[in-house]
Chain A
Amino acid sequence: MTHDTHDNDTLVIGGTALTSRLFIGTGKYGTDSLIPDVAGASGSQVITVALRRVDLANPRSNVLAHIPSHMRLLPNTSGARTAEEAVRIARLAQAAGCGNWIKIEVISDSRFLLPDGYATARATETLAKEGFVVLPYMNPDLYVARDLVNAGAAAVMPLGAPIGTNRGLRTAEMIGVLIEEIDLPVIVDAGIGKPSQACEAMEMGAAACLVNTAIATAGNPVAMARAFGEAVRAGRAAYLSGAGPVAAATADGANASSPLTGFLGE
């Protein structure tokens, strides 16, 4: 019989205990009708959405219709270029009846879509005071992270690579600093392109990963969602299990796992 000592491992955000550490998005799907199956295969309990003007010439179907009812909605403030716009979007999202979680995104750089740390902290402070559970998207910068802690964030969400690039954990060193120094869940958002990269983030001690593009643009999004769910679970289990020591250099030779005696002889 195996003993899994990690059965009670939960991630608590804003008073809600989550058993899945994979957050997923709803953007870029060829058809939104894939979303229920993706959500189910991923095991995720948190899903992001965006708020936009209704296109009066062509009112599309509401993405909420495709989201399983047990999932926690995490509206984002994408499109905001200033702290004030992010606050406005957050209040609208709340008025739409989608709870009080909000992913702050304040981006005025249109080429690399990098988040504005100062504006993000200001929006976070305003919204946290209003009772929002604020999850800010950020550059993995220690001082920005500390500002976000002081502003009342419920977690910090550093980017692994620029949004939508699938380029992986390019900022791994700096995310590692946040994991060491910041006493809030560190959720890696943006850039993760493969399950192995989500697994690595979790092995490093990230609290969760948010994956949208890598799933939505996969050849088979449902199967990829399942793969990400498994990778995040594996990485988390590895983190909790404590990795074995790494030899300092190859000059030290090797250290066999099997006995070093000959097969039959001495």
Chain B
Amino acid sequence: MTIRVNGQQMECETGTTLLQLLERMALRPEAVVVERNRAIVKSGEYGATRLDQGDELELLHFVGGG
């Protein structure tokens, strides 16, 4: 199935969880905050969140700023 992650199209297997996607991308779950279709996904729910065809994800993290 096709999803969009930070504006980029990406293919992943049907039934993939958000946690599996983060692991595949080598991102530490505790270091990111995730929006799925404009709704925040609580950090404890990554493993239980199954992605759907057409999902739009935003993966964000803290960077330096003033």
Contacts and interface: CB of A to CB of B under 8 A. Distances in A.
Interface stretch (A92-100, A123-131, A177-185, A201-209): A92-100
B40 interface: yes
Kindly state the interface size class of chain A when it binds its partner. 35 or more
Interface string A157-191: 00000011000000000000000000000000010
Interface in B52-66: 58-66
Nearest to A29: B64
A50 B63 CA distance: 5
A95 B6 CA distance: 18
Interface residues of B, number: 24
Contact of B40 (A26, A56, A92): A92
Contacts of B26: 59
Interface in B26-66: 26-28, 31-33, 35, 40, 42-43, 58-66
A27 B61 contact: no
A92 to B, nearest CB: 5
Contacts of B58: 53
Given A59-B26, A92-B33, A213 B63 contact: no
A51 B62 contact: yes
B31 A56 contact: no
B30 to A, nearest CB: 8
Nearest to A164: B66
Given A56-B8, A64-B31, A26 B59 contact: no
A213 B33 CA distance: 27
9 contacts: A29-B64, A49-B62, A49-B64, A50-B63, A52-B63, A53-B58, A54-B61, A78-B66, A213-B66
Given A27-B64, A59-B25, 12 more contacts: A25-B66, A26-B63, A49-B64, A53-B6, A54-B6, A56-B6, A59-B61, A62-B61, A78-B65, A95-B40, A96-B62, A212-B65
